[in-house]
Amino acid sequence: MTGVLATMFGGAAAGGGGGGGGGGAIVNPLTMDGNTYFDQGVAGSDPTSAVTVTLYPNGTWSVEAWNYGQLDSGNWFNPLASGIGSSYWVKYTLVGTSGSSTGTNWTTTTAWLPLTSNCQFYVICTSPTNKFRTASYKIQIASDSGGVTIVSTSNVTLICQLS
């Protein structure tokens, strides 16, 4: 099985969007919108499976899997601009989760986080036995710390599995 299920499920293309300075624009929705990202590990002596999404202060994002490496990447702001994150905040909302509760962990809903540093959310399976966890998130980017002016909304599902 491949690390990215996005090609099977399809993914939305980057749209236009307002916001930003310097003639740039927020990507709305993010190109990961609607995608499902998967990582699979082997239960036993070194059992770990995880998927992490990171938004970076320079206007980029990436999806990394513990066992597969980088699954996807793109921009949340075009064109890239050093320090553009100082004008934006992100919130990850856990929409739903299912699977094993023992030996798994996932990011719960966050507050509005300043994009002045790397902002991450994840799902992880760490147990010597078979585990499976799915977590779906809504990603919102706002141009103010209270989230009044939301400039981008996307949805993504993360899956980790140990077998």
How many of the other CB atoms lie within 10 Å of CB of 19?
A: 18
Looking at the predicted structure, is the pLDDT value of residue 95 above 80? Answer: yes
Per residue in 98-118, pLDDT (tens digit) is: 998 788 899 999 999 999 999
The predicted structure's pLDDT at residue 44: 79
Looking at the predicted structure, is the pLDDT value of residue 1 above 80? Answer: no
Domain ranges of the chain: 6-162
Within the chain, residue ranges assigned H as helices are 6-9
Q: For the chain, list the strands marked E by DSSP.
A: 25-26, 35-41, 49-55, 60-65, 69-75, 77-78, 89-99, 104-106, 113-114, 119-125, 131-142, 150-162
9 phi/psi in degrees, rounded to 5: -90, -15
Q: Kindly state the average pLDDT of the residues 14-38.
A: 72
Give the angle 107-146-134 at the CA atoms, nearest 5°. Answer: 20
Higher-pLDDT residue of 114, 45: 114
- As a whole-number percent, the residues of the chain with pLDDT over 90 amount to 71
Contact in structure between 136 and 152 (CB atoms under 8 Å)? no
Q: Kindly state the average pLDDT of the residues 25-44.
A: 93
Separation between Cα atoms, residue 24 and residue 27, nearest integer Å: 10
The predicted structure's pLDDT at residue 23: 66
pLDDT band at 141 (very low <50, low <70, confident <90, very high): very high
